[in-house]
Amino acid sequence: MKTIFLSFVLPVFLLFSCVGNSKKEQSKLKKENIKGETMGTTFSVSYLDSNDIDPLPEMEQLLLEFNKSVSTYISDSEISRFNQGDSLWISTEGHFYRNFMLAKDVYEKSDAWFNPAVMPLVNYWGFGYTPKKIVEVVDSLKVNELKKLIQFDSVKHRKSGKQCFLHKKINGLELDFSAIAKGDAVDEVGRLLESKGIFNYFVEIGGEVRARGKTVSGYYWRTGIRVPDESSNNNQIQLALKLKDLSVATSGNYENFFEDKSTGIKYAHTINPHTGYPEKNTLLSASVFAKDCATADAFATAFMAMGFEKSWEMVHHIAYIDACFIYSDDLGNVKVKYSEKISELINLKSEKSEIN
């Protein structure tokens, strides 16, 4: 096992046709593991290899470049320079452009429930790159003022060859890709492995996962959805699933929150872009399955803001995603509901699988 500790500021599932292995070829493969820590979260990659390939150096370089592009915690990153100014030229082959276009697509498909322009409100509520502190006295006038900046579609872009010119029409507008970038970074690591001829792997960063192919035993990789309770630990699983060349991302309001000790009120990190306030609803966690982890990541965030009823309706209108929702009913009982295709993934007895 290789152990690394990554000092990236931003912690780090695309469905390609998986290259299958015969039993003879599978027996030649050996499992390799890379584990580390990044910005308070864990980084884990498992893959099968028969050629002693070491993807670690390029993986480190990839993630460094990724952060220099889309991390709001780095003052001179591309996204920070855009947020501090009013325009920016970016490469159409870079991380910023890819995240921008992915975010734009989910913004439109989710009826603006996923909104990367929510950064000013994220900072106001203490979950952004500014010093984190509880909002002791909520200023409704300030919230309404910041809501006027939350207009992602006002950011205009114009391509010219391999360059793209981004321009904001609203002074003070800022972008935040944190709800899609982690999933995209997982995808990028997966793409890197595939470029090395590695088609059996499991990439996980902070709970977002991309799995391809099978384990060394020839079974599908397996993961779990945590019990949505801040007092639970990573070993308490609400639902176990096998991943058949899929990506999954989970968003919940049970981990990242501030609690006002004087009132006991908890402010969750999911900001409702339509109200400007941290969202409070019966949805405890949303796990989204998609071809790529970036899409799953973004929709999981959108669903947490929307709540269970709206999310359940939307997931049935978007053909390329599936979801599993954990929510509380009117009596406070925890319920689990998932779209039809998820049934195959949780039927672990039908096909052998093993936990990564």
Strand partners, 204: 44, 209
Neighbours of 242 (CB within 10 A): 23
CATH code, domain with 126: 1.10.3980.10
Query: Which distant-in-sequence residues (6+ apart) come within 8 Å of 57 by Cβ?
Result: none
Q: Mean pLDDT across the stretch 176-201? A: 96
> Is 198 domain-assigned?
no
Residue 275: closest CA among 35, 99, 115: 115
Q: Provide the strand spans (E) within 50-171.
A: 87-91, 155-160, 163-168
Which pLDDT does position 28 carry in this prediction? 65
Return the exposure string of 49-59: e unless at least 16 CB atoms fall within 10 Å of the residue's CB, then b.
Answer: beeeeebeeeb
Which pLDDT does position 5 carry in this prediction? 32
Range picked from 5-14, 141-150, 234-243, 322-331 for highest mean pLDDT = 141-150
pLDDT band at 194 (very low <50, low <70, confident <90, very high): very high
Who has greater pLDDT, 318 or 10?
318
Who has greater pLDDT, 28 or 85?
85
Residue type, 52: D
Domain count, the chain: 1
Q: Mean pLDDT across the stretch 72-101? A: 97
CA distance linking residue 102 with residue 169, whole number of Å:
20
Q: What is the pTM of this model?
A: 0.86
CA distance linking residue 268 with residue 146, whole number of Å:
18
CA distance linking residue 328 with residue 314, whole number of Å:
19
Determine the structural domain holding residue 102 and report its residue range: 71-175
Written as six digits, the tokens of 57 are 């150096």
> Is 31 domain-assigned?
no
Max distance between CA atoms of the chain, in angstroms, equals 67
Which pLDDT does position 262 carry in this prediction? 55
> Is 132 domain-assigned?
yes
> Is 145 domain-assigned?
yes
Distances (CA, A) of 105 to 15, 98, 132, 153: 18, 11, 30, 11
Query: Which distant-in-sequence residues (6+ apart) come within 8 Å of 75 by Cβ?
Result: none
Residue 349 has pLDDT above 90, yes or no: no
Question: Locate tokens 């009913």: which residue?
Answer: 329
> Is 152 domain-assigned?
yes
Written as six digits, the tokens of 52 are 């002693």
pLDDT band at 178 (very low <50, low <70, confident <90, very high): very high
For β-strands 237-243 and 247-252, DSSP reports them as unpaired
Query: Which distant-in-sequence residues (6+ apart) come within 8 Å of 136 by Cβ?
Result: 260, 262
Residue 227 has pLDDT above 80, yes or no: no
Which pLDDT does position 289 carry in this prediction? 97
Residues 324 and 225: beta-carbon distance below 8 Å: yes
Which pLDDT does position 50 carry in this prediction? 85
Q: Mean pLDDT across the stretch 121-148? A: 89
> Is 9 domain-assigned?
no
Q: What is the mean pLDDT of the chain?
A: 84
> Is 109 domain-assigned?
yes
pLDDT band at 288 (very low <50, low <70, confident <90, very high): very high
pLDDT band at 6 (very low <50, low <70, confident <90, very high): very low
Q: Mean pLDDT across the stretch 296-311? A: 96
Q: What percent of the chain has pLDDT over 70?
A: 80
pLDDT in tens, 36-68: 766 446 789 999 998 889 999 999 899 989 999
Who has greater pLDDT, 210 or 25?
210
Which pLDDT does position 305 carry in this prediction? 95
Which pLDDT does position 12 carry in this prediction? 30
pLDDT band at 136 (very low <50, low <70, confident <90, very high): confident
pLDDT in tens, 251-278: 986 555 555 555 555 555 789 999 999 9
> Is 97 domain-assigned?
yes
Who has greater pLDDT, 22 or 126?
126
Which pLDDT does position 21 carry in this prediction? 47
Who has greater pLDDT, 150 or 230?
150
Residue 328 has pLDDT above 60, yes or no: yes
Element housing 84 (H / E): helix 78-84
Beta strands across the sheet bearing 283-290 = 2-5, 30-38, 41-49, 201-205, 208-212, 247-252, 283-290, 321-328, 334-338
